[in-house]
Amino acid sequence: MEFDRPFFKKLAHNDTSAAKGHQGGIVIPTNLDEFFPQLSKRITSESPTVEEFIWAALFVGNSSKGIVSARYQYQTWGGTRKERRLTQNLGPIRSLAVGGDYLVIERSLSDPKFYRLTLLKAGTVEYANFLGKVGSRTSGPVYNNDRPVSELEVDKALAEQSLREAEVLNLFDNDAAVTEVRSTRVARSRAFQTRILEIYKSKCAVCGRAFLSPTGSSEVEAAHIVPRGLKGADDARNGLALCRSHHWAFDRGLFGVKPDGQILVPGKVSVLPQNAHLVVFDAKPLHPPSNTSLSPVAKAFEWHMDNLVSAFL
């Protein structure tokens, strides 16, 4: 699993389990909220507290303390006082923390509900090295010139993708390789994933199945028909929702889709006994998206068939 660029908070005494009054978690400063689920959108007078379950891999320095289910919580009092916290099951690091320690936070690039939380203890080599990077700052991105992707950037990428999808499809994004900075690329990838899972109801277009975690994370992935690495467009009409096995097989040309929307498993693939579970879908139709105007276009499948599947026919 790969993670986005790190951000951090210098812990206050109240963030630790030693604090008098036993504060129920680690307070997240306002400037870090953009790297967490945007709970403020769901706040109402009837629901002044909202939360999102996340998974967190806990570390103290280089020592793993396990993976826990945690919560990101947003709470208001009277519409004026607002507070954001990481809560629940953080004892393995909070119990060892004291005021002045650093909490370094990283978000998974593949699962936006999975985080890595690393406690850096004062007096350690790791702490000293980190202090050299952040200086007197108490919170924020570790590298100001190389920030993690924010939720606002993903929302912007989603809006831009929606505008593209309202126009005639340009199957190739020829400028992306030379114009996209890393954060833009990551935001567009997350937006594409969000869009595809939404219109396919988080189900594989081939088998109709998917695993789902209690946090709402889906095994299903957003697959480009013309690969993004070959300048394929971030556009739902160039995409499919596929489980991991079928995504791997599709990217390697182990099956394609004919103009009538039926799956084709080529002969050199079907004769291999290991592929028997794929052969059962030969000549079966793909499951369509809920919004048929965003169905994959024939020319994308034609490109995939000509360039990836044809070698195995």
Query: Does residue 137 share a domain with residue 155?
Result: no
The answer on 203 and 241 residing in a single domain is yes
Q: Of 141, 173, 188, which closes a domain? A: 141
Report residue 181's pLDDT band, with 50, 70 and 90 as the boundaries: confident
Task: Answer yes or no: are the C-beta atoms of 107 and 5 closer than 8 Å.
Answer: no
* Cα separation, 256 vs 235, whole angstroms: 19
Last-in-domain residue among 115, 141, 167: 141
Quick one: 196 and 224 in the same domain?
Answer: yes
Does residue 175 register a pLDDT over 90?
Answer: no
Residues 238 and 296: their CA atoms lie apart, in Å, by 6
Query: Quick check: 80 pLDDT over 70?
Result: no
One domain, residues 188 and 290: yes
In Å, what is the CA distance from 150 to each residue of 30, 123, 291, 313? 13, 32, 27, 44
Segment 46-62, tens digit of pLDDT: 667 888 899 999 999 99
Q: What value does the mean pLDDT take over residues 220-229? A: 96
Instruction: List the single range of 10-19, 21-30, 290-299 with lowest mean pLDDT.
Output: 21-30
Measure Cα distances from 117 to 11, 56, 106, 125 in Å. Answer: 13, 7, 7, 18
Is residue 18 a part of any domain in this protein?
yes
- Between 165 and 78, residue with greater pLDDT: 165
CATH assignment at residue 113:
2.40.330.30
Are 176 and 79 members of one domain? no
Under a CB-based contact definition with an 8 Å cutoff, are residues 247 and 306 in contact? no
* 169 plus 281 within the same structural domain: yes
The number of folded domains in the chain is 2
How far apart CA 269 and CA 266 sit, in angstroms, is 5
pLDDT the model gives residue 210: 86
Residue that finishes a domain, picked among 141, 166, 198: 141
| DSSP-derived secondary structure letter, 248 | H
Domain enclosing residue 303, as ranges: 151-312
Asked if residue 146 is part of any domain, the answer here is: no
> Residue 226 domain-assigned?
yes
Tokens representing 160 are: 């831009």
pLDDT at 49 (0 to 100): 81
Tell me how far apart the 2 most distant CA atoms of the chain are, in Å: 70
